Amino acid sequence: MAANQITEQNVASRLNSNAKAIEKDGSGQSIDPPLSEIGVQQAEAAGQYLQDVHFHNVFSSNMKRARQTAEIILRKNKICNNLAIVTDPDLKERSFGIAEGGQVKDMRNMAKAAGQSIPEYTPPDGETMDQVKNRISTFLSSLFQQMVDEHHDKICQGNEFQPDGPLAGRPDDGVQNVFAHTLVVSHGAYMRVAMRYFIEDLACTAPPGANMAQVFSACPNTGMCRFIVTLKCSDANIQLSTMKCVFVNRQDHIMAENH
160: Cβ contacts below 8 Å, ≥ 6 apart: 7, 8, 9, 12
Residue 65 assigned ligand-binding role: yes
| Feature table: binding site for substrate | 65
| Feature table: binding site | 65
